[in-house]
Amino acid sequence: METDRTEKIGGVTLDYSHYPGEDFYCDGASEDELLRIVRTVPKERYPEAIREKRSWEVLYHLSDLRENIVKWLPMDKGMKVLEVGSGCGAITGCLSQKAGSVTCVDLSKKRSLINAWRHKDRSNITIHVGNFQDIEPGLGTDYDYVCLIGVFEYGQSYINTKTPFRDFYQIVKRHVKPGGHVVIAIENKMGLKYWAGCREDHLGTFFSGLEDYPDGGAVRTFTKNGLEKILEECGEKEYRFFYPYPDYKFMTMAYSDRYLPKVGELTNNLRNFDRDRMLLFDEKKVFDMLIREGLFPLYSNSFLVLTGPEIETDYSRFSNDRARHLCIRTDIGHRAGGERYVKKIADNEAADAHIQKLAGYFRAFEERFRGSGLEVNRLALQEEPDGRSSALIEFLEDAVTLEELLDTCLQENDEAGFRALFERYKNLVSWNAQGTLQDFDLTFPNICVQEEKWTLIDYEWAAQDGTPEEMVHRALYCYVLENPKRADHPVLRKILAETGMDEESFARQKEKERAFQTEILREKDGGMRTAVTDMRHLIGHMAVPYQQFFAHAEGKAVQIFEDTGEGYSQEHSWYLHDAYTADDRIRAEISCRANTRGIRLDPAENPCLVRLEAVTFQGRKLTAEELARAVVTNGEVLGEGGSVLTPGTPGMTAVLFADHDPNINVRLDALERGAEGNGEGLLVVELQILWLTPEMLGDLKARITRRKRFWFQK
């Protein structure tokens, strides 16, 4: 009698009928840690575990942003999905929420257990553990979707033939019902990030994909032409390419040939989490050039290939790296007649109220700006098939943004044109502003211009407080932040000076922006989400200019320790690899949480001389008295008074660090706090630093000893 080779974890079924008895692929301790987390930590607390562990493996496998790659695809509860290479279940949960049933296949028992435990509350998931070739003959042929997310590049491992990738696709295709889809998400070996200095994802080596894998190996990624050739050899006639940005792993936007990126849109390129990388050039500038030349599809960092009938969606943008109740998605699609539309959709049940608010903001701003010459993009609420709320918004054809028009004026040195646009903008911001709702996001990219018609297209953030001057300052701040070189143009410099946007104003605005960004990460229960852009710093992998990569890259890492009441420890520390602004300059920007009592900064791992030049907290530069009270070091102060800065002295005092563990301790609990009454805020520490050779250190120590002896003899 054959024994039952299945296991139930909650509602998930694991089938071991084809499991060979051992895992041939395993990440060891990291998988043990993942299994511990999914068995003991509720899903809603995964973001906290990700921040606490500061590990690439934990981020990669447990971040809900991994789901973005499939979340926008049209699925419903009447559909069946096959997920090949399901791993630790990064997208399984999303598929099971959207579809009626999900069948997973994975070679690893440990990873399948992680998948099952994290989704034990679902009853529509079956996981087959074992080799795909052994399991495949028993799978159905009526799947609506077959998903190969980060899997197709391993085709040689799945299929042992002379043409493994073509044969792999042919086998997979057998399991798709007529009218169904195969979904392939894969890196583009011509992706711009690899030219710019990112290592090949699977091998961890520089340029190996660009060199067409000269050292061999089991993994192969492809160019767009390479993938198209495989599809055509397999007789596939219906397929479309989408272009996940920054890549398919942590996608925030999906473009298509029907909706390609515009110049200036691709700004979030430093997303390396897994290992150090070089910075050979500014990827934003190169992307802008490629977009102008019509070459973006060839250099997209990743591809998503969707076979089968065309879908409506041409573009999708996720705004879900936030607190759950603020997470939304914006789709641009087309109907059968070609008419385009924009739709904003709640990313989860908790975000329904946020979508509902948009309707109220639309009515309020439509009333406020009536007669001003600024129209508000029309919006209508509706319900999605899954019951979530969405807002249908008019798509504006042949429109350019106010930002694009201002940029054109700068490029053409057209001061009169820039001033005319800016004055009209300021008049609109002031229109009926007294005592009415303020659009916090009334910035230049959010106004579309069609000849003389101006339309407000985004009004997600609104508040009763705020003045027109504050709205103008934020718009200018965001305009410069998106491209700092704009501030070098004499026309914009004049505008900034006339509006009072000096260095101090920018510092205050930066602090306000940080506070705003912090607030949208705050969960309703008080928990805090860590934005994925911050994880690069917390994990500690470097992204450094190529000139520095091989020279001093390891030494030029500033370590930050955080004291939240339990003292300093390695567990609560991370590295800032971009704090060195020059060989002898450090500018460390540290986001402090509400319960932060102190920050310790280790500027180097070598003996050095340090001169503290400025400390700014919550947008305000600390006074001499505050510095003397709050800053403590383990170095030897070379001036009189024994303090880094003696109250009343005009300048800073140098500090000698004679060992390999220099540190500067800023005690926030010794300062008067901001309006919040806590330690939350941006701390900026600016230093001048001189690294010391053993000979220099010996000379300095000898001189200090002689001075001390002379003082004693006096």
DSSP state string for 83-104: EES-TT-TTHHHHHHHSSEEEE
Nearest to 34 by CA among 100, 117, 109: 117
- The three-state DSSP-derived secondary structure of 265-332 is CCCCCCCCCCCCEEECCCHHHHHHHHHHCCCHHHHCCEEEEEECCCCCEEEEEEECCCCHHHCEEEEE
User: Do 63 and 50 touch, CB atoms closer than 8 A?
Assistant: yes
Give bridge partners of residue 343 from the DSSP assignment.
Answer: 331, 392
| DSSP 8-state assignment for residue 4 | P
With 60 as the cut, is the pLDDT of residue 712 above it? no
User: What's the CA gap between 136 and 524, in Å, rounded?
Assistant: 45
Q: Please state the pTM of the whole predicted model.
A: 0.80
What's the pLDDT score for residue 395? 94
User: What's the CA gap between 627 and 683, in Å, rounded?
Assistant: 13
Burial environment of residue 76 by CB neighbours within 10 A (0 to 12, 13 to 18, 19 or more) = exposed
Nearest to 74 by CA among 157, 156, 12, 144: 144
What's the pLDDT score for residue 479? 95
pLDDT digits (tens, 9 = 90+) for 471-501: 999 999 999 998 888 999 999 999 999 999 9
What's the pLDDT score for residue 89? 97
pLDDT digits (tens, 9 = 90+) for 215-258: 888 899 999 999 999 999 999 999 999 999 999 999 999 999 99
Say which residues have a Cβ less than 8 Å from residue 269's Cβ, sequence separation at least 6.
193, 196, 246, 283, 284, 287
Nearest to 75 by CA among 101, 48, 112: 101
Whole-number percent of the chain with pLDDT over 90: 64
User: What's the CA gap between 459 and 438, in Å, rounded?
Assistant: 10
Please give the structure tokens belonging to residue 84.
Answer: 């090949």
What's the pLDDT score for residue 377? 94
User: Do 219 and 209 touch, CB atoms closer than 8 A?
Assistant: no
Phi-psi region of 46 (alpha: psi -120 to 50; beta: other; left: phi over 0): alpha
Burial environment of residue 30 by CB neighbours within 10 A (0 to 12, 13 to 18, 19 or more) = middle
User: Do 378 and 393 touch, CB atoms closer than 8 A?
Assistant: yes
- Write the CATH number of the domain with boundaries 322-528: 1.10.510
pLDDT digits (tens, 9 = 90+) for 544-601: 665 545 444 445 678 899 998 888 988 788 888 778 887 788 999 998 888 899 999 9
What's the pLDDT score for residue 555? 55
With 50 as the cut, is the pLDDT of residue 711 above it? no
User: What's the CA gap between 86 and 100, in Å, rounded?
Assistant: 17
User: Do 536 and 543 touch, CB atoms closer than 8 A?
Assistant: yes
pLDDT band at 710 (very low <50, low <70, confident <90, very high): very low
What's the pLDDT score for residue 650? 37
pLDDT band at 160 (very low <50, low <70, confident <90, very high): confident
Most distant pair of Cα atoms in the chain: their distance: 100
- Measure the CA dihedral 42/48/50/53, to 10°: -110
Nearest to 68 by CA among 390, 385, 321, 258: 321
Amino acid at 435: G
Q: For residues 298 and 648, which has the higher predicted lDDT (pLDDT)?
A: 298
User: Do 405 and 421 touch, CB atoms closer than 8 A?
Assistant: yes
pLDDT digits (tens, 9 = 90+) for 660-701: 788 999 999 888 765 455 678 899 999 999 878 777 788 777
Q: For residues 157 and 375, which has the higher predicted lDDT (pLDDT)?
A: 375
With 80 as the cut, is the pLDDT of residue 646 above it? no
3-state secondary structure of 228: helix
Cα radius of gyration (the chain): 28
What's the pLDDT score for residue 706? 56
Mean pLDDT for the stretch of residues 179-196: 97
Superfamily grouping for domain 8-20+28-314: Vaccinia Virus protein VP39 (3.40.50.150)
pLDDT band at 652 (very low <50, low <70, confident <90, very high): low
pLDDT digits (tens, 9 = 90+) for 92-141: 999 999 999 999 999 999 999 999 999 999 999 999 999 999 999 999 99
pLDDT band at 525 (very low <50, low <70, confident <90, very high): confident
Give bridge partners of residue 236 from the DSSP assignment.
Answer: none
- Count of C-beta atoms within a 10 Å radius of residue 151: 23
Q: For residues 287 and 269, which has the higher predicted lDDT (pLDDT)?
A: 287
For the chain, the structural domain boundaries read 8-20+28-314, 322-528, 554-699
Nearest to 579 by CA among 664, 475, 672, 692: 664
User: What's the CA gap between 75 and 70, in Å, rounded?
Assistant: 10
With 90 as the cut, is the pLDDT of residue 270 above it? no
